[in-house]
Amino acid sequence: MRRSRLAVLAAVTGLLALTACSAATPQDTAPGAAGSTSAPASSGGGSRVVTVLAAASLTEPFTALATAYEQQHPGVTVALSFGSSTTLAQQIAEGAPADVYASAGESALAMLPADAAADGGREVVARNTVEIAVPPDNPGSVSSLADLADPDLDVVLCAETVPCGAAADQVLAKAGVTPHVVSREIDVKATLTKVTLGEADAAMVYHSDVVSAGADVEGVEVPAADNVVLTYPLLWFSKDRDVAGFARFVASPQGTAALTKAGFLAP
């Protein structure tokens, strides 16, 4: 009797441990997954891996740029990992393997060691502005920042700790609007998803996210007087041929073209 109870308990405890392992978000697991594939990119011979950690808002253009770079440079694999700039910067500071880091805004860079890019380099590759995203039929009839204060609307923002959340707070403060916020999501893509799923009436994301979401959302522009412009610095951490090569490729006219196509402003 006692033994069988113990056995059940042991089995259930085992399963508990199992699910606890999987209790991570995609944002959380992705960098680890990238880390496991990336021995420091060795120059020459065999398959070379360039590990790129990039802000969630860069998902679409960086995926396209990585594919293009791999095609132009056979033998090079660009391993991409996307998340909030803050989380990624923290992971790099804690020793996560990274060759290239692209941040939304400059604020997350403060978490990196001051000499992080001393061996590599740094260049601004894009700029972005804040925009309101609403579901395609705009069920909340949102047409301006002021509408977000309506208590009947569910507004979702990025967390205060990540660049898109800080930018949204800045814009709302400039406009003097206190929105009816129901959730502060962990990065800009999670924030946008709440709108594409129709769970939120409005979210404040980047203009580029509205562009890349296509027909899944509608954008409501924020007037320039209330808006902020974020720069996207790209940092690379070594002189390695492939690492510097990919970084220069992103900063090249071809890279800028891919970024502006995805809704970013040219640097």
Alpha-carbon torsion angle 213, 69, 46, 35, nearest 10: -40
Residue 8 contacts another protein per CB under 8 A: yes
Smallest distance from the beta carbon of 162 to another protein, in angstroms? 7
For residues 177 to 216, the per-residue mask of contacts with another protein, x marking binding by CB under 8 A and - elsewhere, is: ----xxxxxx---x---x--xxx-----------------
Residue 151 contacts another protein per CB under 8 A: no
Binding window for another protein (CB under 8 A); candidates: 15-23, 140-148, 203-211, 248-256: 15-23
Residue 118 contacts another protein per CB under 8 A: no
When binding is defined by CB under 8 A, the residue of 63, 70, 73, 90 that contacts another protein is 90
Q: For another protein, give the closer residue by CB, 60 or 185.
A: 185
Q: For another protein, give the closer residue by CB, 90 or 144.
A: 90
Alpha-carbon torsion angle 88, 94, 100, 101, nearest 10: 30
Q: Which among 210, 207, 200 has a CA at the least distance from the CA of 180?
A: 200
Residue 33 contacts another protein per CB under 8 A: no
Smallest distance from the beta carbon of 236 to another protein, in angstroms? 23
DSSP secondary structure of 45-85: SS-EEEEEEEEGGGHHHHHHHHHHHHHHSTTEEEEEEEE-H
When binding is defined by CB under 8 A, the residue of 98, 100, 117, 162 that contacts another protein is 162
Residue 7 contacts another protein per CB under 8 A: yes
φ, ψ of residue 116 to 5 degrees: the values are -55, -45
Residue 154 contacts another protein per CB under 8 A: yes
Distance CA 228, CA 130 (A): 7
Q: For another protein, give the closer residue by CB, 16 or 146.
A: 16
Bridge pairing between strands 48-55 and 100-102: parallel
Binding window for another protein (CB under 8 A); candidates: 25-33, 48-56, 235-243, 245-253: 25-33
Rounded (5°) CA angle 120-68-129:
70
**Is the Cβ–Cβ distance between 116 and 235 less than 8 Å?**
yes
In sequence order, what E strands does the chain have?
48-55, 76-83, 100-102, 121-134, 155-158, 181-185, 202-206, 218-221, 229-236
Strand partners, 233: 124
Smallest distance from the beta carbon of 5 to another protein, in angstroms? 5
Q: For another protein, give the closer residue by CB, 27 or 256.
A: 27
φ, ψ of residue 34 to 5 degrees: the values are -65, -40
Residues forming contacts to another protein in the complex (CB under 8 A) are: 1, 4-9, 11-13, 15-16, 18-20, 22-26, 28, 84, 86-87, 90, 154, 156, 159-162, 181-186, 190, 194, 197-199
